[in-house]
């Protein structure tokens, strides 16, 4: 399996694509190849305007899946998301790559924003026949059932180690149809300085609490898809 991740910091935070690859390896027995085109603050419109980079990757990268993540905070207008997202999905299909709509989560202080993300992503995936990775819905369920599990980074917007654990698990189950019964407790953590600069040495492996990861694992595995 070869997967291209397209998005912004909600894709690259805590090296989520690498964590996804480890989930798949544990589940399916073979580690997928992951590639990322993600730039801070970028949305579907930006990736559409700079589409020659994406086009090249899709034409020559031999990808199986392309995971498309829209900007999140603030979330762009519905019609803009449908139009620009539809363009990117069509670009994937022209090259025989399966498109995946990556639903993000609302800000910690603005949970009311989640429904807009859910409705828009569901519509985009349904209208264009793309796969839907309902991360935002699973995120919402974990928050409601286990408020003691902190999914957010300290800015209340990005994912913390448990949040990216959730994202990687959702992606793994969606693309493989399964999630390893062996509870993974490894994660990554970005330690961000006040300057906002993240250096390579600041990405550190972390051991996650097994009880908390089991709770997240069960919610993901109980999803109907």
Give the start-to-end residue ranges of the domains of the chain. Answer: 2-221
Provide the pLDDT for residue 182.
82
Evaluated on CA atoms 134, 137, 139, 141, the torsion sign reads negative
Question: Where residue 197 falls among pLDDT bands split at 50, 70, 90?
Answer: low
Provide the pLDDT for residue 189.
81
pTM more than 0.85: yes
Whether the pLDDT of residue 193 is over 70: the answer is no
Q: What is the mean pLDDT of residues 142-169?
A: 96
Question: Where residue 37 falls among pLDDT bands split at 50, 70, 90?
Answer: very high
Whether the pLDDT of residue 2 is over 90: the answer is yes
Provide the pLDDT for residue 184.
81
Cα 113 → chain centroid: 18
We find that the CATH architecture of domain 2-221 is 3-Layer(aba) Sandwich (3.40)
Provide the pLDDT for residue 109.
96
Q: What is the mean pLDDT of residues 112-117?
A: 97
Give the β-pairing of 186-190 and 203-207. Answer: antiparallel
Provide the pLDDT for residue 17.
97
Question: Where residue 69 falls among pLDDT bands split at 50, 70, 90?
Answer: very high
Whether the pLDDT of residue 196 is over 80: the answer is no
Considering the chain, what is the average pLDDT of its residues? Answer: 93
pLDDT in tens, 83-104: 999 999 999 999 999 999 999 9
User: Edge-to-edge, what's the strand order for the sheet holding 2-7?
Assistant: 33-38, 2-7, 65-69, 98-102, 131-133
Residues 6+ positions from 41 with CB-CB distance below 8 Å: 8, 9, 71
Whether the pLDDT of residue 192 is over 70: the answer is no
Q: What is the mean pLDDT of residues 204-209?
A: 84
H or E stretch covering 23 = helix 16-28
């Amino acid at each position: 399996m070869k997967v291209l991740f397209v998005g912004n910091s909600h894709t690259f935070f805590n090296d989520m694509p690498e964590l996804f690859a480890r989930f798949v390896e544990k589940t399916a027995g073979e580690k997928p190849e992951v590639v990322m085109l993600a730039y801070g603050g970028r949305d579907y419109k930006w990736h559409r305007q700079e589409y020659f980079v994406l086009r090249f990757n899709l034409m020559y990268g031999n990808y199986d899946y392309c995971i498309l993540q829209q900007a999140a905070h603030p979330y762009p207008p519905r019609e803009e998301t449908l139009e620009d997202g539809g363009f990117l999905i069509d670009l994937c299909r022209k090259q025989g790559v399966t498109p995946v709509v990556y639903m993000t989560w609302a800000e910690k202080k603005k949970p009311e924003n989640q429904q807009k993300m859910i409705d828009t992503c569901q519509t985009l995936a349904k209208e264009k026949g793309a796969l839907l990775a309902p991360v935002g819905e699973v995120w919402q369920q974990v928050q409601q059932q286990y408020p003691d599990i902190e999914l957010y980074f300290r800015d209340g917007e990005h994912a913390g180690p448990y949040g990216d654990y959730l994202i990687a698990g959702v992606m793994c189950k969606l693309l493989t149809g399964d999630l390893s019964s062996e509870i993974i407790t490894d994660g990554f953590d970005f330690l961000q300085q006040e300057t906002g600069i993240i250096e390579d040495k600041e990405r550190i492996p972390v051991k996650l609490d097994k009880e908390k990861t089991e709770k997240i694992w069960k919610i993901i595995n109980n999803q109907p898809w």
